[in-house]
Amino acid sequence: METTKLYITENRMKVAIVSTPRTCSSILGGIFAKKYNLTDMSEIFTSAETSDDAANLLETLKTTDNYVVKITTTSLTDFTDVFQYNTFPWEIFDKIVLTERTNKLQQVASWLALNTAQKSGKKSALDINQFVAETLGTDVDLECDTHQINNIVNNINFYYDNTKPHLLSLNLPTCVVTHELMQLPKDEVIIQLNQILNETVMLEDIDNSIQSNIDYTSLIVKYELEKLISEL
C-alpha cells in the first residue's frame, strides 16, 4: 500500500474516494475539494440511468482534470457491461482513498435510515444526516426486510472481497481511512489522517456541518439486525 504524496503535474489532479455507502466518504471528498480547490463530483454514477449514461460519465472522468469523485460498490455493480471493479481505469487517479466502516451493524442500520431519507426526498449529505438524526427514536418505520438486508450485506461484502483487495494489489497511491477514525476528537483526527493520507490537512479543511457520529444502536435493537444478518 502506497501513501505517496500527491504529485501535481500541469495542474492535473484526480482523486477517487472508493467506498460502500454510509462511511466518511463525503467528508473525505470535501477535504480534498477544499484543500486543492477541486470540483467535487460526488457519487457521479448515481445519475446514470442507462449503460450509455455510465459510459459517458466514465469518459468524463478520463478527460476531465482537477476533481474528486466518490465511487461506491453500487456503482461498480450496476453497469457491469461498461466496467467492473477489475476493469475500471483506476490508473487515471493520482490518489485513491478507500473509506470503510469497521462496525458493520452500525453501517447496515445507517444504510436503512439512508434509504428512508432518500424516499422522503432528501438528497444532499447534510439533509440526509439531519433527517436521520431527527427521526432516530421516533415512530418513523424503516423499510427493513430480509431481501433488503441481504442486498446491503452483499454490497458491503463485495467491497471487502473484491474491490478493496483488487485496489490494494495495483501498486497505485492508495490508502484506507475508517469511518470510526473520523469520529475521534478533531485534533486526533488531523494527526492520524495526515499520517494515512501523507497530506497536511488542516482543521479548516474539514466540513463540520455534516454529522457523521450518529449512533444507530436504537435501530439495531429495534429491528434485531444482528439476528437478521446472522440468519442470512
Q: Is residue 206 part of a domain?
A: yes
Q: Is residue 194 part of a domain?
A: yes
pLDDT of 1 reads 43
pLDDT of 139 reads 66
DSSP 172-228: SSEEEEETTGGGS-HHHHHHHHHHHHTS---GGGS-TTS------HHHHHHTTHHHH
Round to whole Å and give the CA distance between 204 and 184.
16
Q: Is residue 220 part of a domain?
A: yes
Question: What's the CATH code of the domain at 213?
Answer: 3.40.50.300
Number of Cβ within a 10 Å radius of residue 188 = 11
pLDDT of 5 reads 44
pLDDT of 12 reads 81
Task: Count the domains in the chain.
Answer: 1
Residues 6+ apart with CB under 8 A from 52: none
Q: Is residue 8 part of a domain?
A: no
Q: Is residue 142 part of a domain?
A: yes
Round to whole Å and give the CA distance between 92 and 96.
10
Residue 66's domain comprises: 14-230
Q: Is residue 9 part of a domain?
A: no
pLDDT of 11 reads 62
Q: Is residue 4 part of a domain?
A: no
| pLDDT tens-digit profile, the chain (232 residues) | 444 444 444 468 999 999 988 899 989 999 999 999 999 998 899 899 999 999 999 999 999 999 999 999 999 999 999 999 999 999 999 999 999 999 999 999 988 888 888 888 877 777 877 777 777 766 667 778 888 899 999 999 999 999 999 999 999 999 999 999 999 988 999 999 999 999 999 988 988 776 677 888 988 988 899 998 998 8
3-state secondary structure of 107: helix
Compute the residue count for the chain: 232
Round to whole Å and give the CA distance between 115 and 127.
13
pLDDT of 19 reads 94
